[in-house]
Amino acid sequence: MRKIRFAFAGFRHAHIGDLWQRAQNHPEIEIVAACEEAPDDRLLDSLNIQPTHHSLQNMLDTVDFDVLAIGDSYSNRGALAISALSRDKHVISDKPLCTTLDELTAIKTLSASKNLAIGLMLDAREHENLITLRHVLISGEIGETATVSVTGQHPLLRDKRPAWYFEPGLHGGTLNDIAIHAMDLIPWMTGHSWNRIQTARTWNGKATDRPYFQDCAQFMMVMDNGAGVLGDVSYLAPDETGYAADEYWRVLVHGTCGKAETSLNAPGVRVATDYDKHVRLLEPLPKSETGYLADFLSELRGNPCVTGLNTCSNLTATSWALELELTAARHHQIT
């Protein structure tokens, strides 16, 4: 079987290092090119990557590849995806895929008309605690999902994040950046799809010397069964402990006959039904041996996606995240 040829476009965020490592170690993949037009030596050194090209246009025009892996700054990703799809290439990207609905519409149209796959690095479905929580919810152990509270606050890490984060127009919004995980995760865990956005708000609270950078972000949504969802994905977690905090990707679900909650750093999933005398701690189910890359490759081969991530779900999550940004922008204009 011929290997799938990956070309990497941009190393502007450390996330892309995860895909680089997975691709390097995958027997079905051959990395044929890596381009960075504005090298950050600290990041490239930390990822142990040596670019083969310093012109994206030159790489796209001269390299024979099957998949474009995108890790450029957020505002550049949509155009790169459109360029690759126009060349009949599949796309896999760090999230977010793009920063405007116009870009998303073009991506959807090209993907559908050319039968090309769109992958996203949405790795939350691989976490054992969230897999266990999904099992509880889908089984009906706490009844029908009624409310969901999700907190995905991140540390701002102002001195460590790439400088482009804080330049006007390059980031594209905190909801699009972080809430997309919730847009994907909550339907997967509950078995319900999104119905509508009730409200969303972003504002500048911490990086006050960059007032255009909306580092605080909250939203309220409704699912197709009427369940209400509250979310906070602000860049307000403490810098040194934020990723280790109990509330880092904490999900609390109340059902019609109980509740279940966990987080990425929890020891398991806490469950209590109406009939329990005490809260039970469920040991996490085994960590998924597959993930976003495995699902992407399965889709390319025409096989079922193990965790359910596919072009449709990735584009749907992206659409909702972008709609949250627009809702927040309208709220900002009104107030």
| 62-101 pLDDT per residue, tens | 999 999 999 999 999 999 999 999 999 999 999 999 999 9
Does 219 or 49 have the greater pLDDT score?
219
pLDDT at residue 281, as a whole number? 98
264 in Cβ contact with 127 (< 8 Å): yes
Determine the 3-state secondary structure of 151 from DSSP. Answer: strand
Give DSSP secondary structure letters for 210-226: STT---EEEEEEEETTS
Shared domain check, 207 and 64: no
- pLDDT for the residue 309: 92
| 279 pLDDT above the threshold of 80 | yes
Residue 163 lies in a domain: yes
Q: Is residue 23 part of a domain?
A: yes
Helix, strand, or coil (residue 166): helix
Given a contact cutoff of 8 angstroms between Cβ atoms, the answer to whether 80 and 16 are in contact is no
At residue 277, does pLDDT exceed 70? Answer: yes
- What is the distance in angstroms between the CA of the first residue and the CA of the last residue of the chain? 58
Last residue of a domain, one of 73, 99, 116: 116
- 15: tokens are 């996330």
Indicate the residue type of 206: K
Angle between helices 311-334 and 180-190 (to 10 degrees): 120
Q: Do β-strands 145-151 and 228-232 pair in parallel, antiparallel, or remain unpaired?
A: parallel
Total structural domains within the chain: 2
Q: What is the pLDDT of residue 333?
A: 66
Which candidate, 4, 63, 64, 59, places its Cα nearest to that of 30?
4
Domain range holding 269?
Answer: 125-287+322-334
Cα(72)–Cα(53) distance, integer angstroms: 14
Residue found under tokens 């680089």: 20
- Provide mean pLDDT across the span 44-52: 86
pLDDT at 96: 97
Task: Note whether 148 and 28 are same-domain residues.
Answer: no
Same domain, 57 and 135: no
Mean pLDDT of 280-294: 88
**In Å, how far are 94, 121, 239 from 157, measured between CA atoms?**
19, 21, 6
Domain end among 92, 116, 140: 116
Please tell me the pTM assigned to this model: 0.95
**144 or 160: which leads in pLDDT:** 144
334 falls in which pLDDT band (50, 70, 90)? low
Q: Is the pLDDT of residue 38 over 90?
A: no
